Structure 1
Amino acid sequence: MASTLGPAPDPEAVLRGHRAAVNVVTFHSPSGTLLSGDADGELKIWDLRRHRPLSSSRVHTPAAGVIGISAADASNKILSQGRDGTVKCWQLTESMLSRQPLLTIKTDSYHFCKLSLSESATMSSESEAIVGNTKIASGAAVIAIAGKEPSIIELWDIGSGKCVQKLPQERLGPSTVECILSHGICLLFCSYEDGTMMVWDIRHAAAPLIQARLHDEPVLSIAIDRIGAGGVSGSADGNLMFFFLDYQENTFVVKKKVEGQAGIGDIAIRGDDKLVATAGWDHRIRIYDYKRRKPLAILKYHTETVTGVTFREDMKWMATSSRDSTIALWSLYPPSSLQQNQQLVNSGGSRYGAGSMVNGNMNDHEQ
């Protein structure tokens, strides 16, 4: 049903400069910049005040492209992943990458499963010796990535450049991973091409803590809330799952299933666990209330598949990337404004079910 309250708002700014599809985007909090990687293997660092690139580096070959980026904020190290079987670690200085990588991890895996970084991975003494005599120091940065062998997730210590753990499963290969630190324990969330999802405590690799098949097709994206109590998953089947993790019963509890969307390539939960954003194959960004699992907005700008979505740490900005070679910056409700408008969200029903939020204003534009 068409809306009478006006068209969807435009983003606050659009960053242009990539000549190929932008595959991934992430904020780097210490420098106040934005990082983006494209299908030609180029990684750009953006000045968010002038909306211009500060630097551009060819970190992977054009044939491989950049499919993943992570930032280790504590050490100002940037990780780039290409579809050439490598992950490279770069030093970030004065908004530029080092000329040569500090470390190159050869995974020999050539799929689209993006790496996931867990920084300051503090583990108990019983888990320090993870593989043989290899120890991970307190405060280490650890990445999870799909390995060379099918269905195996590998954990690498960035400091030592060594693989410290392998988590095998006899099933189709992993499609996405998410590594988080919860109550001093590093938890790994894995999903597989058959729609199965698993949660691992990396101190105990014999078997996952929790596993269930939540989707009928490959899981393309997972986002976990800041305490590891639950999250959201999206799949090629177009279904979005809001779930809770029952660690006592070792099970996923699906709280809500949202059907009928296009494929969901990326998901982000804002740092206050109040907003969820999804990146759709249908060129749309959908915003949800995470705790109440209600739709809040459908944002339209990109003309091709939306490949990435991320929130800045201060929660003032959201960035989206697309195959149309652009990056869009959106200004959504700051936490105070979201709280003030929560009553409208709760009572709005269909009126606000597909609205758009920009600068504290909600415009119902698509249903």
Structure 2
Amino acid sequence: MSRPAPSPIYTLRGAGGPLNTLHFSCHGGDTPILFSGSGKGVIHIWNLNSRRAEKIVEGHSGSSVIWLSTLQSTDALISQGRDMQVCLWDLREGRNEVVDNVWTGSVGFCQCSLLETGPGNNLLAFAGQQTEEIRIIELPSKSPVCTLVPDTKLGMVMCIKLWQPDSGSRPLLLAGYEDGSLLLWDVTQRSKLSQAKAHPEPVMCLTFDTKRLRGISGSSEKKLSSWILDRQDNLQLQDCVTLVNPGVSQLCIREDGKLLASAGWDHRVRVFSWKKLRPLAVLQYHTDMVLSVAFSDHQDPKQRLLAAGSKDQRISLWSIYNEGADTG
């Protein structure tokens, strides 16, 4: 390690349940916001200036909230719960109402993936009712786009990432499955482009750098597996990162492509340089499994934060490697 590990700059308490998902919204307005979703079905909207919950909403009948995002063009919140519902919220001007919802039929833990395709238009991908299927719909119309099912048995779909290459208009989707496989799908053609066996255990999480066409995935084992897409859209396995302890809940790459953070089952957050996967810091604060990590989207790099949510019902916020740090 190049320097001693820092302490959290502050913590947020009062979520009342395990913190499954975190999502920042700091790029617009005067108030930076952090959304959190708990295992008790509650969404907290944290004001990062006052460091308090500005609003608390419940919309999943007490079922665990497993994913949160915001629709950039409308500033609407979208949430996914284990009640098999995806809810669209209007939170403007003091409102807190569900204005639309989508029934997924999935009882698993696979988080949705959202892709903005134009002003006011989005694609939403989610695990479907059948074990291996991924469904993609348009929002706000909820029109079906396609259903993707592998032609061989790979087990349950565990994690997905919908994205759009800079070079073309066709959306692509990366998916991790229960047997440890990664698949790249062409959404428009409804076809599999490539496949790789990244792990011997189920793929618990993945993240993908769309600028560098490089991704990384984690499982219950003691390693992270990195991979790239070549010019023929083939998935190619690259380096592995060996971890001290097994189990990763979530992975997140900072927007500038310099840092990777992992949420560990061993109660720790690990920070790596994304370029060389060199370990930079081990962040120790939580007393139970870390379930979620997220980097903030502050426009000013000096204000960027890393948030971690844990089964211990607390959120830690960290300011690390923001200015002039050697993260190569």
Report the TM-score when normalising by structure 2.
Answer: 0.91
The residue aligned with 1:48 is 48
Q: How does 1:278-317 map to 2 (within 5 A)?
A: 278-314=262-298, 315=301, 316-317=304-305
2:156 to 162, 173, 188: 173
Tell me the alpha carbon deviations over residues 285-304 of structure 1, each in whole angstroms, 9 at most, x when there is no partner: 00000111111110001111
Distance 1:301 1:249 in 2: 40
8 Å CA contact 1:246, 1:253 repeated in 2: no
Question: Partner amino acid for 1:83?
Answer: R
Q: How does 1:223-242 map to 2 (within 5 A)?
A: 223-227=207-211, 229-242=213-226
Q: Which runs of 5+ in 1 are unaligned?
A: 123-137, 347-367
Are 2:137 and 1:156 aligned? yes
8 Å CA contact 2:272, 2:280 repeated in 1: yes
Q: How does 1:68-147 map to 2 (within 5 A)?
A: 68-94=67-93, 96=94, 98-99=96-97, 101-119=98-116, 121=117, 140-147=121-128
8 Å CA contact 1:275, 1:290 repeated in 2: yes
2:240 to 256, 277, 297: 256
Larger Cα-atom Rg: 1
Aligned-pair identity in percent equals: 32
8 Å CA contact 1:288, 1:296 repeated in 2: yes
Tell me the alpha carbon deviations over residues 46-96 of structure 1, each in whole angstroms, 9 at most, x when there is no partner: 10011000000012122x2111111112211211111111111112314x5
Number of residue pairs aligned between Structure 1 and Structure 2: 316
Are 2:19 and 1:22 aligned? yes
Are 2:188 and 1:200 aligned? no
8 Å CA contact 1:226, 1:271 repeated in 2: no
Distance 2:24 2:48 in 1: 10
Question: Partner amino acid for 1:186?
Answer: P
Question: Partner amino acid for 2:114?
Answer: L
8 Å CA contact 2:271, 2:282 repeated in 1: yes
Q: How far did 1:253 drift?
A: 3.0
Distance 1:249 1:92, change over 3 A: closer
The residue aligned with 1:354 is none
Distance 1:333 1:73, change over 3 A: same
Tell me the alpha carbon deviations over residues 219-272 of structure 1, each in whole angstroms, 9 at most, x when there is no partner: 111111132611111111232012221132623231334244321000000001
Report the TM-score when normalising by structure 1.
Answer: 0.82
Distance 1:228 1:261 in 2: 28
Distance 2:14 2:75 in 1: 24
2:172 to 175, 187, 200: 187
Question: Partner amino acid for 2:8?
Answer: P
Deviates more, 1:307-316 or 1:138-147: 138-147
8 Å CA contact 1:242, 1:293 repeated in 2: no
The residue aligned with 2:8 is 11
Tell me the alpha carbon deviations over residues 157-202 of structure 1, each in whole angstroms, 9 at most, x when there is no partner: 1210232211111421100111123214422110000000011121
Distance 2:85 2:57 in 1: 16
8 Å CA contact 1:87, 1:107 repeated in 2: yes
